[in-house]
Structure 1
């Protein structure tokens, strides 16, 4: 009896393909000794038992598990093929069955696109046809490696992949998406890459379904398909990938249930039971000496031909080594035993298969078996590496088939009005939400053609997504009414048509002239939807090539490339050199702040190298825990307004030569400052907070009555002539009071000495300059120059006019000025007295929009293919001119603290980094050296702004530390 307790794969460094199983002479001797010693001590029944691989499940009841126990213990079966369940449950059962078996069991799984094909709780990889669109074979090989790692981690030795079928029949009911495509070379190259990756990880790959199931119109699960090709055609097409993979060390082959007259003269005789196919063709002619599996013997393509037991005997006589899915093991074992005793099966023939099986068990380390360690198993099979690769795969697979007038990527967001309409019956949320991160894309939901057209009448461009369930065998066909809707929409609109289904779904579409762009995204997975939306707006470029023909309209290899625009995109942290496990520590810090009531809610975003890698929201709008924070909620970003609204407009003026850093206030605003002691303050001094200006002044106090409420002298409860500056709900300030504020600033006392003093006055002044210089109000100016062209659809002053209050967290329960809960109106008192539009405060935004502006800075004025200001301009503004004097500030931009000084950052970012913080608990920071953008938004001021625990506890800075710690490589 062989003692065995865990699965130990021989983790050596080998070259590609099957060569890792090729041993030294000493190893070959050891293998031979192990195999021979087992074989000679086995009874006839034990030897025959090794031939059977039984189907099993990890999501069944004890009746099923006990039945498997009996087969393992009483009939000494050689292996198990797991079909459904979960990784943990399968590992538990594998340990159980292995402990019961005299000889370690082969564990197999039919996981053509990873464990998720069979098991729950596992990340799903793309189908083979999606992989067929990818040109980079290194990526396919990487997929195989991850399949191998997943399988090895849960104790699996065989993965019944890759599929070598060449799907030349678009109506093939069983292969389809399981095939890499319709071209033999395309299929061969990708199958070979996948095989190499799988076998590099010590897991055995299986090529299937020999001799070729790609050109069939019926399903062998239910009947026997006919492959009526000549021998020459089979050798040139169907056999081609097998020959190539045999030469590279393919471990095993699965034989299909097919009627192949060119190979087997007996009519309607299954290939899996044919000596001519299995022995003469596969082994003798093609020279394959690896393991040979039957396809499942319970499939009707074979089961209709023979009864249980008889079919197993016939399959073994044909030359198969492993009998898959036997319907009746006791009966099959008896039939084969009788055939042996009757000399229908020789000892040589039996030893050939059994010793081969034992040899392969040795190759995968079953001579030193140990139980599967279930610690961290679920995390291991769902590794960050898996998630990261998903993005790379879809970025290389999504295929653009038509792109008239370079419709994609969408360029001028300021001029576009885009609608989205969903066809199909599956979820489109990731696609739509990602589209809306780029532009104001409006979803149209109407059931009938007339109502659709009415709702679309104001839109020139329409994105139509066709979303079908992400299942390889699901029906992806268009319904007649969907084709009618599609036809109607294309008559009056520029349509970008995006198909989240198999390419064959497009066959009923005959007229492609009506589309501006056609995209095949292959699957309706979350990542495919995200990547496809990125492609439409230019964060990634199209690379995919069609793996199959679509009628006469498109052929294999078709696929256009598209331009990339440097807009923010989305990916997994590992794809930009970050560690996702480390980034998870952000959650802990954010939740700590929520639980300790430092702030009711938080938005956090992290991007690197132009890709958003972390975007989450925490908590609620208020401490009553009613409205949870969403990524699209808009926060009062307080002083971030300075760099989000005012500063970029100043940069543009500088870039156009309208002002210099040495321009003086007396020159820019002569009527206001020309005759004051501030006339010689330069822009450089002003925006570096080095102009001796007061930090701020509570202007609102002069407008209160004796008991501290807004005075009737200055305010009205409704809008009236001369009272149009809305301070908050039902409260309007006198229009002329804004001039009063400006004159108070002009007349304010300068500080006694020149030193760094943060002042809101600087940006209040610059708003006045911008409006005088351009003749445009600041809110309109920022919207025109930056917010619209950047796609900052959630960034604006006075959000209560556009957004539902349920999207705007409140900032404070004001008990000193407005005496109400401040929601949708700016928290800053002076900004409120300017009608909500100020140079230093007033902007509401979400983290995604703020990140776009920070990325614009990081890219030195370039974003979305537009140059908003020159790189030199940015560098001029991102310079600390007064560092030697102890002032860390750039021109409008905050900079990291100087040595021995307190400051806004974790003290772990570069000197080139820049950003700003805000009173409401906000922060935006970017670092050119690490290419990181970090945005933190909150309403820590609710319900009371007086105690800033968020700042005292360094929550924003600690999160910044985590981000820096997560960097794997620069």
Structure 2
């Protein structure tokens, strides 16, 4: 008995506490608020008071007649509140100012923007749906998105936003809530709603908890009919009402009453809960103690509109205890009926005053007592700022949920062993997902009409990424996949390792008959461009994954499931602001590009900028040639020229030095017998790498193969067709005698040394290093670089001999050669010496796009690590990125170029740190990395088109000017 008595006392105590909740409509200066409210209401006529009860729908995409209609409601019927619907933000602001100007009492402006203004207004920002947000574990992010949506609302004059949805969606077949809910956990829904509310109300916009007392477990849509909820009071109290009670305690400013039939709360099953005094007054306001603004759901919805006439519904809603009538359908008729009710005592003036005072308190709370018109300038920029995308990206990254990770298939690594195919299922696009996947490695999209053909084509792949894509246009779109898609999924998984990435409601997983054969299951929730791009990055380890499932999926996956997967330190792709840079300042590069093209410094190119491992600028510009027949694409590859030195030869030299196959203090005579007793015998490898070895800058080997009489390529050395004797392919239909390779090396051995000791840039050292590396590893340099670096890095757009790997139209031509090969060079190395070695030189011959150049540079920047693999030891990178002859005025490190010591030299912008490093290339290429700022910069072009006489790019120092622009774009806070 004692225990029962204590339980009863506790229950009564809780009820008293709930009934004594703090009034969420009270402002900090409550005394001044009360004075203002009293001063307004005492001067109001009955008609003006009744007018305060209505919130009519206004559009900013309708004609003048509609504007006059709304104006008339405000002036003639004293309507005190409006809810803006479809339109544009600029027009809405214009109308907001117009309607506020003619209102005697400032209008409370409402809006239905659960995921932002985009829910109703064009050209505004869209944040993720609540179901997506429900997967996030960091409530601070929910507070941030609430705050940002509130700031957007405030910018266009909105005072109350009908969000958040606090319905607990326990029914997967719910046709109208679904993705609009934070999920099926009452605790999670409450926590997310409280955080969202705190953020939005913190910037002065009232939040609205909807749809009271809970619309989550319905199978019909109250827009079209009256849904019935057949649950007991205990069930409703423990599940549906739980998050409402929590957000009430947290101070939410308003609540929306739903149009539902709830027999356990209202015996009249035809009476919508929004019109029920038992629900609106007895339960909501008396039992739960809610003192905020009580607003009906839209009274144009069939769930309410089918009950009676519009005027009778409006009166019934007020009598039930609502304060505000949302979207009333007959204001004149309702005013007339309410005045009649006042006369006959059905509605008392005290009851009318009660709601009017609450409405006025709300208006004071949101600052309408000091109303100022909304600024009309820069609306679009204010509503679509880089910060919005940064926040959006953080939300998506935090939501992506890994439900299965068999054999640690995620993140995808060991790329050298992977042959990856992508298959798209569903009825919506997955192109953004696929394009982003290709930034990490070679991924082939396989699409077929017949399953048998698809399975046959997939046989050569050992990993299949399946994207499940459904429409992202609105949250109530069907999430269900076709039976065909479901069958295809199982059949592919039966014979392949599969990662399934679903860009749809988590409920879509209910359709999957078995997950047994699916190694990886990822839930990305929405099919937006950002979701697709970020999820593709996540699969390759661009960031940590820690989302948790907000609903349960049969017995397969439980509520709250979600495996944490660590990232691999690979490149991310984002906007400048996320990496601490300014989009506006970085856009100056676009103007540089215009100059490059207009002044014909190069026909086209690629520029990539990354900071802290985040690619923030990655653009292709112009065309392959001046004929403008093919625009440059990000996937196109350029002749890198001398960038080959640090992207191919140097990594292998560093590896060989680590493995003690060579020593930097060895002499050439020690490592290559042919240099013994030559004038280069005692040259240290360290000296050669530093360009301090007195070597000649280069030798024009090709001139020695010219006919002395005709000046043409000598038939002694060349043939148009390959043969066993002439098997070195120099260019199209041009083959060099195979023994000439030794002749080239002999020329280098026999070449004179420079008399002056000191710095002199030379290609010859890299002919030598190529020979050293190939002898030490007994394999060609191109294969070594590919096996040890490019393949495991996923640098599939980086290669020697590009015609063997890429389509010809993906390779940007360099020069119209009229001095040696007498043809347009496309897919054949521009450097004459490298060409005479068959296209594989230690100093030239490498082709790539900017993205893959950045991977190698990022590897160096990350002290030899990339994608979870340590390619080189940190001390090795440090050793090579050091000047050893600085006292001799040699700016170079070991292989790496370094910032100039002489201010008159323009090796860099002069704005990078002394620990930075990089290289430039004769064809118009340049790359640089700076550990001090975390910046990687890649510039690729074919400035030698049409001929190498085209020196505008070099003379203008355009590459280093862009480097200065990049430095200027770094935000000071960084």
Please give the alpha-carbon distance, in whole angstroms, between the structure 1 residues aligned to 2:385 and 2:711.
Answer: 60
Is the alpha carbon distance of 1:592 and 1:355 closer, same or farther for their aligned partners in structure 2, counting shifts above 3 Å? farther
Aligned to 1:430: 432
Please give the alpha-carbon distance, in whole angstroms, between the structure 1 residues aligned to 2:97 and 2:961.
Answer: 44
Deviation digits for residues 656-709 of structure 1 (CA, Å, limit 9, x no counterpart) = 0111111111111112x1121101111111011111111112222222344543
Aligned to 2:139: 137
C-alpha contact (below 8 Å) 2:274/2:280 kept by paired residues: yes
Aligned to 2:863: 860
1:184 Cα offset (Å): 0.6
Aligned to 1:197: 199
Please give the alpha-carbon distance, in whole angstroms, between the structure 2 residues aligned to 1:100 and 1:520.
Answer: 50
Aligned to 1:273: 275
1:467 Cα offset (Å): 0.6
C-alpha contact (below 8 Å) 1:638/1:840 kept by paired residues: yes
Please give the alpha-carbon distance, in whole angstroms, between the structure 2 residues aligned to 1:623 and 1:201.
Answer: 54
* Residues 1:622 and 2:655 aligned together: no
Superposed, 1:371-770 pairs within 5 Å as 371-470=373-472, 471-671=474-674, 673-705=675-707, 706-770=709-773
**For 2:930, which of 927, 930, 933 is the aligned residue?**
927
**For 2:65, which of 63, 66, 83 is the aligned residue?**
63
**For 1:785, which of 774, 785, 788 is the aligned residue?**
788
Deviation digits for residues 903-946 of structure 1 (CA, Å, limit 9, x no counterpart) = 32111111111111111211111111211111111112211221
Aligned to 1:92: 94
C-alpha contact (below 8 Å) 1:565/1:863 kept by paired residues: yes
Give TM-score scaled by structure 2 length. 0.95
C-alpha contact (below 8 Å) 1:388/1:573 kept by paired residues: no
Q: Which moved more, 1:921-930 or 1:725-734?
A: 725-734
Please give the alpha-carbon distance, in whole angstroms, between the structure 2 residues aligned to 1:779 and 1:895.
Answer: 26
Aligned to 1:106: 108
Please give the alpha-carbon distance, in whole angstroms, between the structure 2 residues aligned to 1:951 and 1:277.
Answer: 78
1:856 Cα offset (Å): 0.7
Aligned to 2:806: 803
**For 1:291, which of 290, 293, 306 is the aligned residue?**
293
Please give the alpha-carbon distance, in whole angstroms, between the structure 1 residues aligned to 2:301 and 2:104.
Answer: 30
Is the alpha carbon distance of 1:738 and 1:89 closer, same or farther for their aligned partners in structure 2, counting shifts above 3 Å? farther
Q: Which moved more, 1:822-831 or 1:754-763?
A: 822-831
C-alpha contact (below 8 Å) 1:709/1:819 kept by paired residues: no
Please give the alpha-carbon distance, in whole angstroms, between the structure 1 residues aligned to 2:110 and 2:742.
Answer: 80
Q: Which moved more, 1:746-755 or 1:117-126?
A: 117-126
Aligned to 1:80: 82
Aligned to 2:842: 839
**For 2:189, which of 184, 187, 190 is the aligned residue?**
187
Please give the alpha-carbon distance, in whole angstroms, between the structure 1 residues aligned to 2:627 and 2:26.
Answer: 66
Deviation digits for residues 819-876 of structure 1 (CA, Å, limit 9, x no counterpart) = 2222121111211222211111111101110111001101111111212121111111
1:18 Cα offset (Å): 11
Is the alpha carbon distance of 1:208 and 1:20 closer, same or farther for their aligned partners in structure 2, counting shifts above 3 Å? closer
Please give the alpha-carbon distance, in whole angstroms, between the structure 1 residues aligned to 2:103 and 2:603.
Answer: 58
Please give the alpha-carbon distance, in whole angstroms, between the structure 2 residues aligned to 1:232 and 1:19.
Answer: 27
Please give the alpha-carbon distance, in whole angstroms, between the structure 2 residues aligned to 1:111 and 1:621.
Answer: 46
Deviation digits for residues 701-747 of structure 1 (CA, Å, limit 9, x no counterpart) = 22234454333222222222222222222222222222222111111
Aligned to 1:314: 316
C-alpha contact (below 8 Å) 2:23/2:292 kept by paired residues: no
Is the alpha carbon distance of 1:948 and 1:362 closer, same or farther for their aligned partners in structure 2, counting shifts above 3 Å? same
C-alpha contact (below 8 Å) 2:299/2:325 kept by paired residues: yes
Please give the alpha-carbon distance, in whole angstroms, between the structure 2 residues aligned to 1:531 and 1:92.
Answer: 37
Q: In structure 2, the residue corresponding to 1:507 is in which secondary structure?
A: helix
C-alpha contact (below 8 Å) 2:174/2:219 kept by paired residues: yes
Is the alpha carbon distance of 1:704 and 1:216 closer, same or farther for their aligned partners in structure 2, counting shifts above 3 Å? same
Aligned to 1:324: 326
Q: In structure 2, the residue corresponding to 1:837 is in which secondary structure?
A: coil
C-alpha contact (below 8 Å) 1:709/1:818 kept by paired residues: no
* Residues 1:883 and 2:886 aligned together: yes
1:20 Cα offset (Å): 10
1:186 Cα offset (Å): 0.6
Q: In structure 1, the residue corresponding to 2:460 is in which secondary structure?
A: coil
Please give the alpha-carbon distance, in whole angstroms, between the structure 2 residues aligned to 1:159 and 1:622.
Answer: 54
Please give the alpha-carbon distance, in whole angstroms, between the structure 1 residues aligned to 2:128 and 2:595.
Answer: 38
C-alpha contact (below 8 Å) 2:896/2:917 kept by paired residues: yes
C-alpha contact (below 8 Å) 1:886/1:898 kept by paired residues: yes
Please give the alpha-carbon distance, in whole angstroms, between the structure 2 residues aligned to 1:797 and 1:217.
Answer: 61
Is the alpha carbon distance of 1:212 and 1:701 closer, same or farther for their aligned partners in structure 2, counting shifts above 3 Å? same
Q: In structure 1, the residue corresponding to 2:109 is in which secondary structure?
A: strand
1:633 Cα offset (Å): 1.0
Please give the alpha-carbon distance, in whole angstroms, between the structure 1 residues aligned to 2:351 and 2:960.
Answer: 72
Please give the alpha-carbon distance, in whole angstroms, between the structure 2 residues aligned to 1:333 and 1:809.
Answer: 74
1:961 Cα offset (Å): 1.8
Deviation digits for residues 232-284 of structure 1 (CA, Å, limit 9, x no counterpart) = 22222212112211122111000000111222122221011111111111111
* Residues 1:824 and 2:852 aligned together: no
Please give the alpha-carbon distance, in whole angstroms, between the structure 2 residues aligned to 1:679 and 1:793.
Answer: 39
Please give the alpha-carbon distance, in whole angstroms, between the structure 2 residues aligned to 1:708 and 1:946.
Answer: 20
Please give the alpha-carbon distance, in whole angstroms, between the structure 2 residues aligned to 1:844 and 1:160.
Answer: 55
C-alpha contact (below 8 Å) 1:708/1:817 kept by paired residues: no
Deviation digits for residues 516-535 of structure 1 (CA, Å, limit 9, x no counterpart) = 11111111112211222222
1:226 Cα offset (Å): 1.2
Q: Which moved more, 1:134-143 or 1:88-97?
A: 88-97
Is the alpha carbon distance of 1:744 and 1:401 closer, same or farther for their aligned partners in structure 2, counting shifts above 3 Å? same
C-alpha contact (below 8 Å) 2:26/2:361 kept by paired residues: no
1:333 Cα offset (Å): 2.1
Q: In structure 1, the residue corresponding to 2:336 is in which secondary structure?
A: helix
Is the alpha carbon distance of 1:733 and 1:353 closer, same or farther for their aligned partners in structure 2, counting shifts above 3 Å? same
1:508 Cα offset (Å): 1.4
1:506 Cα offset (Å): 0.9
Deviation digits for residues 142-162 of structure 1 (CA, Å, limit 9, x no counterpart) = 111111111111111111111
Please give the alpha-carbon distance, in whole angstroms, between the structure 1 residues aligned to 2:886 and 2:336.
Answer: 90
Is the alpha carbon distance of 1:278 and 1:947 closer, same or farther for their aligned partners in structure 2, counting shifts above 3 Å? same
C-alpha contact (below 8 Å) 1:400/1:518 kept by paired residues: yes
1:394 Cα offset (Å): 1.5
1:62 Cα offset (Å): 3.0
Aligned to 2:227: 225
Q: In structure 2, the residue corresponding to 1:604 is in which secondary structure?
A: strand
Please give the alpha-carbon distance, in whole angstroms, between the structure 2 residues aligned to 1:21 and 1:837.
Answer: 76
Q: In structure 2, the residue corresponding to 1:462 is in which secondary structure?
A: strand
Q: In structure 1, the residue corresponding to 2:608 is in which secondary structure?
A: strand
Aligned to 2:339: 337
C-alpha contact (below 8 Å) 2:640/2:940 kept by paired residues: yes
Please give the alpha-carbon distance, in whole angstroms, between the structure 2 residues aligned to 1:623 and 1:365.
Answer: 61
Please give the alpha-carbon distance, in whole angstroms, between the structure 2 residues aligned to 1:707 and 1:735.
Answer: 23
1:567 Cα offset (Å): 1.5
CA-atom RMSD in angstroms: 1.7
C-alpha contact (below 8 Å) 2:943/2:950 kept by paired residues: no
Please give the alpha-carbon distance, in whole angstroms, between the structure 2 residues aligned to 1:833 and 1:70.
Answer: 86
C-alpha contact (below 8 Å) 1:531/1:540 kept by paired residues: no
Please give the alpha-carbon distance, in whole angstroms, between the structure 2 residues aligned to 1:732 and 1:68.
Answer: 83
Superposed, 1:193-272 pairs within 5 Å as 193-272=195-274
Please give the alpha-carbon distance, in whole angstroms, between the structure 1 residues aligned to 2:537 and 2:428.
Answer: 20
C-alpha contact (below 8 Å) 2:23/2:291 kept by paired residues: no
Is the alpha carbon distance of 1:707 and 1:67 closer, same or farther for their aligned partners in structure 2, counting shifts above 3 Å? farther
C-alpha contact (below 8 Å) 1:591/1:618 kept by paired residues: no
C-alpha contact (below 8 Å) 2:24/2:251 kept by paired residues: no
Aligned to 2:797: 794
